[in-house]
Every structure is written in C-alpha cells, then in structure tokens.
Amino acid sequence: MAMGSSLKSSSRMVMSEINVTPFVDVMLVLLVIFMVTAPMMQQGLEVNLPKTASSGVALSEDPFVLTIDSSGRLKAADIQINIADAREKIKAIFETRKNKQIYIQADRKVDYGVVAEVMGEIRAAGILNINLITLPKE
C-alpha cells in the first residue's frame, strides 16, 4: 500500500524548467525583421539647395537643422512644425542645448518671405546664431 502511494506522488511531480526555445525563435525573427526594415524607415525631404561660393563650418556638437521644403512646410528632425508654434518649440529645444546655433536648410523655390518669417521666429526664441545651408558652386 505504501508503495502505491509513493508512485502516485512521484508521477505528479511538475517539471519546473522553462522552455526558452520558442522565445528565442520569436526574438530572432523579430531581430531579422527590424534589421531588414530599419534602413527603409529613414525618410528625408527632397530639398533643392542653392549653390554659393562659401566654405564649410566646423561643428562642435550635432547641428540642429530646420528644413523648409518647396511647399513652405517646416520640419525639424522629421517632425513637422507650424510656423506659429516654432518659437515655443525652438525655445524648449534650446533650453538644454549647449550649442545655440541653428541651421536652416531651405529649398531654393521657397519664397524669401517664408525664410525671413522663420528666421524672425528663431530670433524671437532667443537664438541669434542662424546659419543657412547651401551647396558649393562647381
């Protein structure tokens, strides 16, 4: 009788190991998917820059580039900004930045008034060092 009860208790023993093989398989599949799709996620604006005879500028920190596309839309780091909200957003961004320089990358088809308005908002935000990005002449 005692032997029969010990067999029942040993057969009810629960395995306490976790099988991580399915987890590893899923993680490897996700890793491959992200590695393949990450280069496709990079988007940029097509901006036709004007050409000038100026030389390059040495940078000490990652530059903050404000892009104005041919239709007059304002973008900073792939985030669209309304010109009306630009002052507050730029002020908030530059509160923590050591380098108080801003670079404007405007399409050559953009009206000069739009560029001047953006520059005015930047100055109103307290940033006085404004640079324009151009291409060198051939």
Q: What is the pLDDT of residue 28?
A: 95
Tokens 């507050």 locate to 88
Q: What is the pLDDT of residue 55?
A: 60
Question: Encoding tokens for residue 2?
Answer: 């005692």
- What CATH number does the domain located at 51-136 have? 3.30.420.270
Q: What is the pLDDT of residue 31?
A: 94
CA distance 103 to 49: 13
SS3 for 68? strand
Domain positions in the chain: 2-41, 51-136
Averaged pLDDT, groups of 10, the chain, 138 residues long = 52 76 93 85 64 61 84 85 87 85 89 90 89 81
Specify whether the backbone of 117 is left (phi greater than 0), alpha (psi in -120 to 50) or beta.
alpha
CA distance 74 to 11: 70
